[in-house]
Amino acid sequence: MRHAPPRTATFGYALSYSDAHCHAPPHSRAHRHTLPVNIHSQQTTATTHPSSLLIAPPPCAVSVDRLQQPFSTSAALQGYRRRMDTYSPSRRVQKRRHGYLARLKTKSGRNILKRRQLKGKRFLSW
């Protein structure tokens, strides 16, 4: 009795469960973890990028050196910054930007006033 040949992917590579991750084509998803994430910096790769902490590479790609490296949370916390309060209300500025006379000055402002008037709004603007 003759055995069937192994199934091949569309790229002509023979795939089995054991070597699907290690011998996949270089442009496949299995090797995507080795490609640079930031095109401006070749040193920043998906294995050192903070977002890669959520995505584990295939088992054959993890080396012993990588497992022995100390873990630092500073890279994961770089994007965190407290937002400053920027809203300081002022009726004068509000009327200057959204008031009736400001709406009359521009074509799009006149269209806004016309639309609000057609809708029957009681207040057309500030």
Residues 6 or more apart whose CB falls under 8 angstroms from that of 37 comprise: 44, 45, 46, 49, 51, 52
Report pLDDT digits (tens) over 100-109. 999 999 999 9
Yes or no: say if 103 and 125 are a contact pair by the CB < 8 Å rule. yes
Report pLDDT digits (tens) over 17-30. 444 455 556 555 55
Report pLDDT digits (tens) over 52-71. 556 665 656 656 666 566 65
- The boundaries of every CATH 1.10.287.3980 domain in the chain are 93-126
Q: What is residue 18's three-state secondary structure?
A: coil
In this predicted structure, what is the pLDDT of residue 82?
Answer: 77
111 pLDDT tier (thresholds 50, 70, 90) = very high
Residue 5 has pLDDT above 90, yes or no: no
Class at the top of the CATH hierarchy for domain 93-126: mainly alpha
Tokens of 16: 């089995």
Tokens of 8: 């091949």
Query: CA-to-CA distance for 124 and 121, rounded, in angstroms?
Result: 6
Q: Whose structure tokens read 């100390």?
A: 70
